[in-house]
Amino acid sequence: MKYDLIVIGGGPAGYVGAIRAAQLGKKVACVEKERAGGTCLNWGCIPTKSLLRNAELFHLMKHRAGDFGFKIDGLSYDWEKVIKRSREVSDKNAAGIEFLFKKNKVDYVLGGALLEKAGEVVVKRNDGKTETHEAANILIATGVIPRPLTGLPFNGKTVIGSREAMILEPQPKSMVIIGAGAIGVEFAYFYNAFSTEVTLIEMMPNVLPIEDTEVSQALEKALTKQGIKILTNTKTTKAETTKRGVRVTLAGLDDGPAVLCDQGDTAAGEECALGYRRRHLDGILQRGLPA
Query: Counting runs of H as helices and runs of E as strands, what totals does the chain give?
Result: 8, 15
- Residue 253: its pLDDT value, please? 65
pTM for this prediction: 0.84
- Residue 115: its pLDDT value, please? 93
- Residue 265: its pLDDT value, please? 36
Q: How many residues does the chain have?
A: 291
What is the dihedral angle through the alpha carbons of 256, 257, 259, 263, rounded to the nearest 10 degrees? 150
Q: Which of 128, 120, 97 is CA-nearest to residue 15?
A: 97
Distance of CA 101 to the CA centre of its chain: 24
SS3 153: coil
- Residue 223: its pLDDT value, please? 97
- In sequence order, what DSSP letters do the residues of 34-82 get, joined into one string? S-TTHHHHHHSHHHHHHHHHHHHHHHHHHHSGGGGT---SS----HHHH
- Residue 241: its pLDDT value, please? 77
Asked if 39 contacts 171 with a C-beta cutoff of 8 angstroms, the reply is no
- Residue 261: its pLDDT value, please? 46
Asked if 278 contacts 162 with a C-beta cutoff of 8 angstroms, the reply is no
SS3 31: strand
Asked if 144 contacts 280 with a C-beta cutoff of 8 angstroms, the reply is yes
For the chain (length 291 residues), average pLDDT per consecutive 10? Answer: 96 96 98 93 94 96 94 95 97 96 97 93 93 96 81 82 90 90 94 94 93 95 96 86 78 56 40 45 36 31
- Residue 235: its pLDDT value, please? 85
Instruction: Tell me the domains of the chain and their CATH numbers.
Output: 1-145+279-291 (3.50.50.60), 148-275 (3.50.50.60)
- Residue 259: its pLDDT value, please? 43
